[in-house]
């Protein structure tokens, strides 16, 4: 089956050069009337779009806007060039029902039989081009947003050994570089499992506070959303939100859930060291995204308002409605948009996020 936007059967570099792929010929007219919904506090026609990942450059972001996705997140960038993990990166993950994180050490079958697969792996290692290349490209993506549409710049810092100060400084530099593109909204990826699953920055509240303070020092009033992994612990989530809610515009949840991916003979499915576990997205993690959004919404009730962006396993309009029902202000779909590029228009026309 052909995937839309990002083609899992091609390398990341091929996708960068030749994509986007698999989109319908007809583009969608922008709706009449003023945008009534909001994302990152900015008026949009529908508070629905594609999160960091499938939109690897400006051509992809422009295509998302043309096909009715009113919020497009430019795939996470860094302060310097960073290689992509070896191909393949996106395999079909064969899970029946929900992926349970407590069984993350139990092997899950993953292979290239992508036809019909509603859960996939995401193992890229957050590749980045040099800012000299991605900054003008991200500026072009910003310019591609029509009225009632929003381009969000996603970024993260890069670890240089264990130097905590250097990590804070690198995040601040990345934020400044994104702000220089004219992006009106930003997302800080604190949750990439490819940086080492046990070591996610979002689980280190004092570390996050230092990073967010430095980032805000660079970007001022540009609305900043923190992208989170799934938190098993309510206390840890409450601690992170309590320490950062006055600093940020909101939170996006979730990134992927980790799983140990094996081929049909039980061998590691993705080639290379450190890739025995990889992030899973799509249908199998929907429960975890809904659960995090519900918990973030409850925390919100106990203090000042913040925005909640729901991500994970949104494949249909009904999934969008479910996320809105547990408190998501904005809803995003990566795997679902790759399976059905008409989802943006369907959500916009339904008014589910207006």
Instruction: Return residues touching ligand FMN (CB under 6 A).
Output: 6, 51-54, 75-76, 90, 122, 124, 126, 154, 189, 227, 255-256, 281-282, 285, 311-314, 333-336
**Given the complex with ligand FMN, which of 35 and 124 has the nearer CB atom?**
124
Q: Is 65 helix (H, G, I), strand (E, B) or coil?
A: helix
Closest distance between ligand FMN and the C-beta of residue 32, in Å? Answer: 29
**Given the complex with ligand FMN, which of 114 and 219 has the nearer CB atom?**
114
**Given the complex with ligand FMN, which of 31 and 127 has the nearer CB atom?**
127
Tokens of 156: 């993260």
**Given the complex with ligand FMN, which of 77 and 172 has the nearer CB atom?**
77
Which residues on neighbouring strands pair with residue 109, listed in sequence order? 94, 262
**Given the complex with ligand FMN, which of 145 and 252 has the nearer CB atom?**
252
Which region, left, alpha or beta, applies to residue 342 given φ > 0 means left and ψ of -120 to 50 means alpha?
alpha
Pairing type for strands 150-155 and 185-189 reads: parallel
Closest distance between ligand FMN and the C-beta of residue 304, in Å? Answer: 25
Q: What dihedral angle (degrees, nearest 10) is formed by the CA atoms of 244, 251, 20, 45?
A: -120
Closest distance between ligand FMN and the C-beta of residue 145, in Å? Answer: 18
**Given the complex with ligand FMN, which of 19 and 312 has the nearer CB atom?**
312
Closest distance between ligand FMN and the C-beta of residue 29, in Å? Answer: 26
Closest distance between ligand FMN and the C-beta of residue 54, in Å? Answer: 5
Q: Is 74 helix (H, G, I), strand (E, B) or coil?
A: strand
User: What is the C-alpha separation between 43 and 134, in angstroms, rounded?
Assistant: 26
Closest distance between ligand FMN and the C-beta of residue 92, in Å? Answer: 12
How many helices and strands (H and E) does the chain possess?
10, 15
User: What is the C-alpha separation between 109 and 85, in angstroms, rounded?
Assistant: 20
DSSP characters for 238-262?
HHHHHHHTTT-SEEEE--PEEEEEE
Q: Which residue is nearest to ligand FMN (CB)?
A: 53
């Amino acid at each position: 089956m052909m995937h839309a936007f990002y083609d899992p059967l091609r390398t990341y570099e091929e996708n960068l050069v030749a994509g986007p792929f698999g989109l319908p010929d007809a583009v969608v007219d922008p709706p009449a009337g003023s945008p009534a919904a909001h994302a990152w506090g900015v008026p949009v026609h529908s508070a629905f779009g594609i999160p960091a990942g499938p939109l690897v450059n400006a051509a992809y972001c422009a295509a998302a806007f043309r096909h009715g996705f009113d919020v497009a997140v430019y795939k996470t960038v860094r302060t310097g060039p960073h290689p992509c993990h070896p191909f393949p990166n996106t395999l079909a993950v064969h899970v029946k029902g929900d992926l349970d994180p407590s069984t993350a050490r139990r092997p899950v079958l993953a292979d290239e039989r992508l036809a019909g697969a509603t859960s996939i792996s995401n193992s890229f290692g957050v590749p980045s081009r040099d800012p000299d290349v991605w900054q003008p490209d991200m500026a072009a993506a910003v310019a591609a947003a029509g009225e009632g549409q929003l381009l969000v710049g996603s970024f993260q810092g890069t670890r240089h050994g264990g130097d905590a100060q250097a990590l804070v400084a690198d995040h601040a530099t990345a934020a400044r570089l994104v702000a220089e593109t004219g992006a009106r909204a930003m997302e800080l990826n604190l949750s990439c499992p490819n940086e080492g699953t046990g070591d996610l920055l979002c689980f280190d509240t004092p570390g996050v506070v230092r990073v967010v303070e430095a980032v805000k020092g660079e970007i001022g009033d540009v609305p900043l959303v923190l992208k989170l992994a799934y938190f098993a612990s309510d206390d840890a989530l409450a601690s992170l939100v309590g320490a950062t809610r006055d600093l940020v515009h909101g939170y996006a949840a979730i990134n992927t859930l980790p799983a140990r991916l094996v081929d049909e003979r039980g061998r590691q499915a993705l080639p290379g060291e450190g890739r025995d576990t990889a992030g899973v997205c799509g249908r199998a993690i929907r429960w975890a995204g809904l659960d995090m959004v519900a918990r973030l919404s409850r925390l919100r009730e106990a203090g000042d308002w913040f925005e909640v962006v729901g991500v994970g396993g949104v494949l249909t309009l009904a999934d969008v409605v479910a996320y809105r029902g547990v408190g998501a202000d904005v809803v995003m779909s990566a795997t679902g948009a790759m399976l059905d590029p008409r989802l943006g228009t369907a959500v916009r026309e339904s008014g589910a996020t207006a």
